[in-house]
Amino acid sequence: MKKRLDEFDLKLLEQIQQNNRFSADELAEKVCLSPSSVQRRLRRLRQAKIIEREVAIVSPEALGRSLTGIVEVTLDTDRPKAVEEFQRAIQVMPEVMQGYYVTGNADFILIVTAKSMEDYEEFGRSLSKTRYVKHLRTSVVMRRVKWGVALPVNAAHHSGRVDHEEKLIKKRR
Domains (range + CATH), the chain: 1-57 (1.10.10.10), 61-140 (3.30.70.920)
Pairwise CA distance, residues 107 & 80, whole Å? 12
Confidence of residue 158 (pLDDT cuts 50, 70, 90): very low
Residue 58 pLDDT level (bands cut at 50, 70, 90): very high
Query: Is pLDDT of 165 > 60?
Result: no
What is the band of 160 on the pLDDT scale with cuts at 50, 70, 90?
A: very low
Q: CB under 8 Å to 22, separation ≥6 — which residues?
A: 15, 16, 30
